[in-house]
Amino acid sequence: MPSRPTRRSRPFGLLALPAILTLTTLSAPAAATPGVDRAAGPRAPRPNIVYVLADDFGWTSTSSPLTNQGNGSDFYETPALERIAREGVAFDNAYTSVNCTPTRAALLTGLYAPRAENNIYLVGDLNRGGDDTLLKGPAQGRPDGATALPPEAVTFGERLQGAGYTTGYLGKFHVTRTAEAITAQHGFDENIGGQASGDPGAYHAKDGQFGPKIGPALDAFAGDYTRAYVDENIRPWSAGTDPAALDALVGTDKHVSDALADATIDFVDRNKQDPFLAFLSPYAVHTPVGDAQGRKDLLATYKAKTPGTSTSNPAYGALVEGLDQSVARVVRHLETTPDPRNPGHPLADNTVVVFTADNGGVENFTDNGPLRGQKGELREGGIRVPLIAWSGNPALVKGGRIDHTPVYAADHHATIASLAGAAPAARPVDGVSLKGLFAGDGAGLGRQAIFWHLPGYLIAGDRDQRPQSVIRSGRWKLVHSYEDRSWELYDLATDIGETRDLAGERPDQVQRLGRDLIRWLDEVDAPLATLREGREPLRFTVRGTTYADGRATVRTGETVVVRPGEEVPLVLRTPAGR
């Protein structure tokens, strides 16, 4: 097994910070805030919110051990994320959907996938398994087949606009049919770089423009690297990097991660007179991943490193640390920029920064272990991600903590709306606010379970996701597979890798959680996959409960027949002797 690599030397043991900054805070210089008691906190109401949603950034892609129960990468380096995880609150049971679009739809709307104003379960369609599968997934997305939010969906951007916030979207959107809809329909005053695409195509600009998959407004930040830019925005975060490699960046094409950091800082500066929401959605670390995609100085550094004990891909590492540097720059700017709404304090004292990801990691590039599975699957490796909340104000985020509460992407809608003091939602949302968990007020969420429903297929390469429904309640995770009507039960407190199926040993838990899962499917009117045309009818006898066609049915021993084109039900059999 390769030896653990030696980390690059960094001033203060963490970040290569400007001389005016300290180890534990990236605070504004003392001269900028004379006579201010920082512990007093801000006087301004309604905090600013910077929400960072990394792409395909798995649970163990960060070098911090705090968000992943001690399983941080020993090859990929994320010093900025380490720092805000240590100073903020790190969540190690944070969940998403299986890939990009369903997670983004859930967090923007606050709704589970089966809700009418969401209806997005998977990137593409629900039949990514060919024409030979047993079942066929239903239509998803809009009536025209686009996996895009409908105009009637209410995003947290819209709710914050109603609360007087200026809202900016910067980067990948992926749940829209047109770039114009982001501002016209989905609650953002500005859209810089977002449109329907799910990947950047290429990470570097060419001749001062990014490629057609990146929204053209970001081209304003696509100019080649200059000496001043490198010295101000890259060199401070590059301790241990060969200075010649940094010098060689001058005159070369801008990387999209740097451009998005530039655009975010520019948005903050233009809108700091009023409360703002900056939604920074990096294209990193989605494919393409290769030597041409990472910034050249970072690529050279990772190619020179000793491999770690887990997956160690230099091209991926360059994208990971480039993303981390973007976070570092934005946080530093918040801490060194005076807040016009809160005189004597920097913006950080009235801003909440949230960092998370849209799905689990891709096993070609990152090791999700000890979790099982990867992006595209309902195993833990596909749906568990880092989540960090940080602020310069302990009243907003009580730092130095790890929170073990299971939380889900839809909760981010309710959280952001609650932080902003937005009016109550016109229609109830499924997510619950994490504001209290951020502040460490001791109150729980009042929720018993989180649910997932995927009525279709994603079979590609080494991914093998089939129609399933899942419930996570406390330490237990129950999985129902529709093809064979089977159940799996895992105790995540002792078996985070989902290696031991306890369904046969704990029928009481299967019954309890199975009933809860059926009640939820019934409540959200979840559609199911149907038996594919040309297949023989399915016949089975049920004493217990089934769910199909939008209703739960208690059965006392009758034979169920499912013909082609009909929904294949969830089946919860009553154990013998009961």
Q: Which residues pair with 353 in a beta bridge?
A: 50, 390
Q: What is the DSSP string of 322-378?
A: HHHHHHHHHHHHHHHSB-TTSTTSBGGGGEEEEEEESSPPPTTT---TTS---TTSS
Q: Which residues pair with 479 in a beta bridge?
A: 470, 488
From CA 115, how far away is CA 427, in angstroms rounded?
12
User: Would residue 453 show up in a list of annotated catalytic residues for this protein?
Assistant: no
First to last CA, the chain: 52
From CA 58, how far away is CA 372, in angstroms rounded?
12
From CA 131, how far away is CA 161, in angstroms rounded?
45
% helix / strand / coil in the chain, to the nearest 5? 25, 20, 55
Active-site residue (options: 174, 345, 413, 480)? 174
Pairing of strands 468-473, 450-454: antiparallel
At a CB cut-off of 8 Å and minimum separation 6, what does 153 contact?
A: 105, 108, 109, 111, 117, 118, 186
From CA 259, how far away is CA 265, in angstroms rounded?
10
The tokens describing 552, both together, are 């739960």
From CA 435, how far away is CA 382, in angstroms rounded?
26
The tokens describing 12, both together, are 């203060």
Residue 76: count of CB within 10 angstroms of its CB: 31
Largest Cα span, the chain: 80
Active-site residue (options: 100, 186, 286, 412)? 100
Contact 59, 287 (CB under 8 A): no
Contact 338, 463 (CB under 8 A): no
From CA 49, how far away is CA 422, in angstroms rounded?
13
Residue 202: count of CB within 10 angstroms of its CB: 18
Three-class SS string for 257-325? HHHHHHHHHHHHHHHCCCCEEEEEECCCCCCCCCCCCCCHHHHHHHHCCCCCCCCCCHHHHHHHHHHHH
Contact 530, 565 (CB under 8 A): yes
Contact 336, 33 (CB under 8 A): no
Q: Which residues pair with 338 in a beta bridge?
A: 346
Contact 140, 121 (CB under 8 A): yes
Nearest of 197, 196, 199 to residue 178 by alpha carbon? 196
What are the catalytic residues? 100, 174
